[in-house]
Structures are given as structure tokens and as C-alpha cells.
């Protein structure tokens, strides 16, 4: 350590101030030790009193931190989120739905057994629709089916965009004839899939040109595909097979799931079974991975599709 040097002033002497070490200063002044000036402390009485409410709040906060700690507060917040999420999932599911759900066991039901259970699980007073929800193994699954037992499902008149050199003699409002300008209009959003046309049919010759708009038609499930018969020279056959009397089905654009109606409660169970069989056979049993049957606003019943 270095030597600390201090100034020594002798008031009785005319000599100038001298610099010396601490030990030398002790010898000159005769002091045993040169103490540093003590810091003045303010009496407690002079301190400004804290506001009672502020003081109480701080004491309560410190007490909570000692007893609970940060981990408890985090756990509480997580629990609150879980409770909130659970409440949201139960939204629109009242006492009737919960009561109906108790009647459905967590197992696969035979088709006849499921259809017989449907009226018992109904939560509405009107003639409910019978719905089938199918998880399929492929995307963009779509088609048209004619149910043997009609239930009033109205099919809108589809509008077709057709790329073919072969054109029908009669101008039909149901058909838009496609060419290179049509492809450019689709790219520029002048023509939109789902608004201006509902299905696209093309001859094999036009398929390389449609590659430009594959990213637009693909997500909509409208890209021509040999599996659903939309790549063909015989476009008239495709249109005739999907007439107004048929029921159009297709998978969801965001997931390989098909939601369809197969009848109503007012129909006979045998009629519902035949409609269900017609739909599943049109889609293909090999493509169906999972099936659930339900009524309008009713709980889902897991279905053994192989029992058809």
C-alpha cells in the first residue's frame, strides 16, 4: 500500500503548511490517531414519516413474497389460463348437450347402432339433419353423388371453367371457355376461383399451361386431376354426372376432412343407412381413416365404417 500523506497546520507558527505522512503527523501533533470526521446522523424523529397506506402495502407485498414466492404466482397464472381455456371449450354446450353426451360411449359403434342412437342424443326440437364427418387420407377429395333417398338438399348449379379445343355448339351460361387470356386473368385476380367458377376441367393438352396457376387452383381444390376425372376430352360427361340432382362433396381446403349431410331424422333408419353407404362408396372406403356421425348441434358418435 502507498503512504498516505496529509497536511499539518500549526496555527501558533508562522511557518507554511507542510506535507507529511500519518506517522510523522502523529509525532508532530502528539495525537495518537487522526480520526476522520464522524458523519452526522439525522435523528429518527426528524425523518419524514411514510404514509400509512404506502407502508402497509409494502409490508403486505413483502409478506406475500416470503410466503408464496414467484413460482406460486406463475402457477396461479397458468391455472387461470387453463380454467379460462376450459370454459371457452364448453361454450355453447349447455346442460342438454352435456346430458346427451353421457349417452355416447367412447367406442366405435356399428352403423345401425349409431343411427338408432342419434334421436336420443338430439338437443333440438326441429327435424335435425344427420351429418357425417370423415377424415380422409388425401387432400382435395371431391365429387358428386346421387343419394337413393332424397332429403331436400339443394345443390347449386355449378359453373365450370373448361380448357378444351372441343367446344359445345350451344352457348351455356354454366360454362366459361378458357384460354391463355383466362389464365392471365386468374393470375391478375380478375377471375377468382369459387366466385366466378366452381370447377375446372381441362384436356391433357392444356395442363402444362395451367402450371402457372396451380398455386391458385390447388388450395381451392380446383386443379384438374385424373383421379376425379377433371382431366379429360369428354367434359360433357363430367358435367352430366354432376347435375343439380346430385350432392357435391369435397374435403376442407385446410385439412383432409369431409363434412357432409346424409339425411334427416324424419327419414327411416334404413334410408339413412343407404345414403351413408352411397356416399362412403363414392369416396372410397380405402381413403376413409376415421368417421363420426352426429345430428345438428348433437354430440359426435364414433363410427365403425367397415360395418356398412
Q: How do the pLDDT tens digits run along the chain, 308 residues long?
A: 555 555 555 555 555 555 455 555 555 555 444 455 555 555 544 444 445 555 555 555 555 555 444 444 444 454 565 555 555 454 456 788 888 888 888 889 999 999 988 888 888 788 888 999 999 988 878 777 778 887 765 555 778 899 988 776 555 677 889 999 999 999 998 998 888 888 899 999 999 999 999 999 887 778 888 877 788 888 887 777 655 446 778 888 888 999 998 888 888 999 999 999 989 888 888 889 999 998 888 888 998 888 77
* 75: alpha, beta or left? (left if phi > 0; alpha if psi -120 to 50): alpha
Query: Domain 156-242 belongs to what architecture?
Result: 3-Layer(aba) Sandwich (3.40)
> How far does Cα 205 stand from its chain's mean position?
40
Measured at the CA of 193, the angle between CA 286 and CA 288, to 5 degrees, comes to 10
Closest CA to 179 of 195, 192, 164: 164
Closest CA to 138 of 292, 293, 5, 288: 288
Which class in CATH covers the domain with range 103-154+245-308? alpha beta
DSSP labels for 284-296?
-GGGEEEEEEEET
User: What integer pLDDT is reported at residue 134 of this predicted model?
Assistant: 93
Sign of CA pseudo-dihedral 102, 106, 111, 112: negative
User: What integer pLDDT is reported at residue 75 of this predicted model?
Assistant: 46
Phi, psi of 162 (to 5 degrees): -120, 125
Q: Where in the chain is the domain with CATH 3.30.190.20?
A: 103-154+245-308
Helices (H), the chain: 22-29, 52-67, 69-89, 95-101, 111-117, 180-187, 207-210, 214-217, 235-241, 269-283
Q: How far is 55 from 301, CA to CA, in rounded Å? A: 61
Q: Where in the chain is the domain with CATH 3.40.50.790?
A: 156-242
Q: How far is 23 from 3, CA to CA, in rounded Å? A: 10
3-state secondary structure of 247: strand
Instruction: Copy the grid coordinates of residue 68.
Output: 408464496
User: What integer pLDDT is reported at residue 73 of this predicted model?
Assistant: 47
Q: How far is 178 from 201, CA to CA, in rounded Å? A: 9
pTM comes to 0.49
Amino acid at each position: 500500500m502507498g503512504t498516505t500523506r496529509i497536511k499539518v497546520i500549526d496555527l501558533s507558527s508562522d511557518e507554511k503548511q507542510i506535507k507529511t505522512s500519518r506517522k510523522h503527523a502523529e509525532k508532530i501533533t502528539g495525537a495518537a490517531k487522526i480520526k476522520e470526521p464522524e458523519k452526522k446522523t439525522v435523528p429518527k424523529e426528524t425523518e419524514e414519516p411514510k404514509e400509512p397506506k404506502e407502508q402497509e402495502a409494502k409490508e403486505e407485498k413483502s409478506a406475500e413474497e416470503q410466503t408464496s414466492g414467484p413460482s406460486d404466482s406463475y402457477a396461479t397464472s397458468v391455472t387461470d389460463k387453463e380454467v379460462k381455456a376450459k370454459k371457452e371449450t364448453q361454450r355453447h354446450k349447455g346442460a342438454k348437450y352435456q346430458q346427451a353426451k353421457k349417452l355416447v360411449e367412447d367406442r366405435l359403434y356399428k352403423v345401425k347402432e349409431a343411427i338408432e342412437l342419434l334421436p336420443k342424443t338430439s338437443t333440438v326440437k326441429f327435424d335435425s339433419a344427420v351429418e357425417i364427418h370423415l377424415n380422409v387420407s388425401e387432400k382435395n377429395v371431391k365429387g358428386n353423388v346421387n343419394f337413393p333417398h332424397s332429403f331436400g338438399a339443394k345443390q347449386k348449379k355449378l359453373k365450370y371453367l373448361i380448357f378444351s379445343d372441343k367446344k359445345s355448339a350451344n352457348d351455356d351460361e354454366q360454362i366459361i371457355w378458357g384460354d391463355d387470356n383466362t389464365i392471365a386473368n386468374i393470375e391478375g385476380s380478375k377471375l377468382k376461383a369459387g366466385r366466378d367458377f366452381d370447377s375446372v376441367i381441362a384436356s391433357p393438352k392444356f395442363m402444362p399451361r395451367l402450371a402457372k396457376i396451380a398455386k391458385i387452383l390447388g388450395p381451392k381444390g380446383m386443379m384438374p386431376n385424373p383421379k376425379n376425372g377433371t382431366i379429360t376430352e369428354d367434359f360433357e360427361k363430367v358435367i352430366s354426372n354432376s347435375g343439380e340432382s346430385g350432392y357435391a362433396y369435397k374435403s376442407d381446403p385446410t385439412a383432409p376432412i369431409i363434412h357432409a349431410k346424409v339425411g334427416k331424422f324424419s327419414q327411416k333408419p334404413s334410408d339413412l343407412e343407404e345414403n351413408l353407404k352411397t356416399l362412403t362408396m363414392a369416396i372410397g372406403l380405402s381413403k376413409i381413416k376415421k368417421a363420426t356421425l352426429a345430428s345438428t348441434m348433437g354430440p359426435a358418435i364414433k363410427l365403425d365404417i367397415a360395418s356398412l
